[in-house]
Amino acid sequence: MKTTKLFLTIILLFALKTTMSQETWYVHYVGYYPYPYMPNLNSITINKSLYEGVVCADSGYIAGIAIPIYDWWLPNYNLITNNNLYGVYDVDSSYITKAYIVGENGTILKTNDIMYAGNIPFYNQNSPTINDLYSVYFTNYFSGVAVGDTGTIVKTTDGGSHWNLISSITLNKLYSVQFPSVNIGYAAGVNGTVIKTTNGGGNWVMKTQAIADTLRCIWFTDDNTGFVVSRNGAIYKTTDGGNNWQSKPSGTTQNLNAIRFYSTSIGYAGGNNNTILKTTNEGENWTIQTLPPIPNLGNYKSISISLAGEVALVGSNGNAIANYPEPGYINNYMKDGDVVITPNPAKDYININTGLYDKLILQIYNTQGQRVCEQKLTQGLSQISISNYMSGLYLYQVTDDKGKVIGKGKWVKGKK
């Protein structure tokens, strides 16, 4: 009898653990132009919350948060390169978010703008290399490191204004770099390469090439405990600063391309064929996530987690998914009194919720500054037909009858 109870207890604990490891996921949409172009999304970063973030992709494509109510990513039309962009990282300080992007042919881009400000003015930085750069990481507002092809390592100490080539100890391609603390950092790449720095990226030493595979991403939760992911569902863990690595069961044979931890216990991995894994016990075991129907089969390449715990992944064929909902389904971030337009993007009509406000005026403008609509609104929900609008980005402003601005922002008219 005792044996039976023990067996049932084990089953119940296992079921409870699996349930706790499952999350609800929502398909998201990254704005793209011209339609129906679906770029390969290579990297994502979200800082304090989903309100601030950047996505970079092939062919110089960059997208950013549209307005602070919605999780809706809009394309950045200030394109300054056609090179593929592979890695993005942002640093927040004093209410200003700096973002850095690296990519093909040594491309380094930088912005000092706030992420939700719409079109983000990125600027080319002088790069000391023509080799492809795949990953970038900043330990503070000034110090950052990027890695790439043939073991390339570049470093800045002045917030990205100047970059210097660092002597490398490998010619192997480095795909990923991360710093668990200001001075200690790790990079990983092909042929099982893992290298380590203890002085903020100035010098590096080889830790291991014992893993005979391509390591696509590396992430440490502290100075000594870290993870790498590779092909065929491989996840390796170290607890001694990269000297020794142990294989951990992932439950999948799909290639894994990204890994990121929210805490020492909770982490996520992403890979091919829309694979997402989650751990709640420091990477010892992983649970395959059940996902909603996804329009395009693709490979998740990058994960970012905000300080609030919002998880987002992006990948090939324009794939984007997150554990927080897209507006139009549920909007957890709407405050009482906010003026909200849904859906966004929209095709045939938009719904405008004015909350408690009454006697409002809606004005809609295209990107050339031409007013295409002016309409009076009443309290509550109004619906406006947009079936005759051209596809693309639009700006809106809502004022009261005395001209005071109540709300403003952006929305996208999609193609039918």
CA distances from 247 to 156, 227, 237, 281 (A): 34, 10, 6, 15
Residues 344 and 277 in one domain: no
β strands within 159-284, DSSP E: 164-166, 174-178, 185-189, 194-197, 205-208, 217-220, 226-229, 235-238, 246-248, 256-261, 267-271, 275-279
Residue 59 sits in the same domain as residue 164: yes
In a domain, 192, yes or no: yes
d(CA 15, CA 198): 42
**Per-position pLDDT tens, the chain of length 416:** 555 554 444 444 444 444 457 888 988 766 544 444 567 899 998 865 444 678 889 988 887 754 333 344 555 556 688 899 999 998 765 445 678 999 999 999 998 765 444 456 788 999 999 999 999 999 988 999 999 999 999 999 999 999 999 999 999 999 999 999 999 999 999 999 999 999 999 999 999 767 889 999 999 999 999 999 999 999 999 999 999 999 999 999 999 999 999 999 999 999 999 999 999 999 999 999 999 888 777 899 999 987 767 898 999 988 888 887 544 322 222 233 456 677 777 888 888 776 666 778 888 888 667 888 888 887 767 888 888 888 887 878 788 777 777 777 777 787 76
Helix residue ranges per DSSP H, 172-328:
none
What is the CATH classification number for the domain harbouring 81?
2.130.10.10
Do 116 and 28 belong to one domain?
yes
181 and 236, same domain (yes or no): yes
Does any domain span residue 160? yes
Q: Is residue 12 part of a domain?
A: no
Shared domain check, 352 and 251: no
CATH of the domain at 367: 2.60.40.3080
Query: 189 — phi, psi (to 5°)?
Result: -165, -145
Beta strands across the sheet bearing 311-315? 26-27, 320-322, 311-315, 300-305
Helix (H, G, I), strand (E, B) or coil at 242: coil
Q: Is residue 9 part of a domain?
A: no
Question: Which residue segment(s) compose the domain that 269 sits in?
Answer: 24-322
195 and 316 inside one domain: yes
The whole-model pTM stands at 0.74
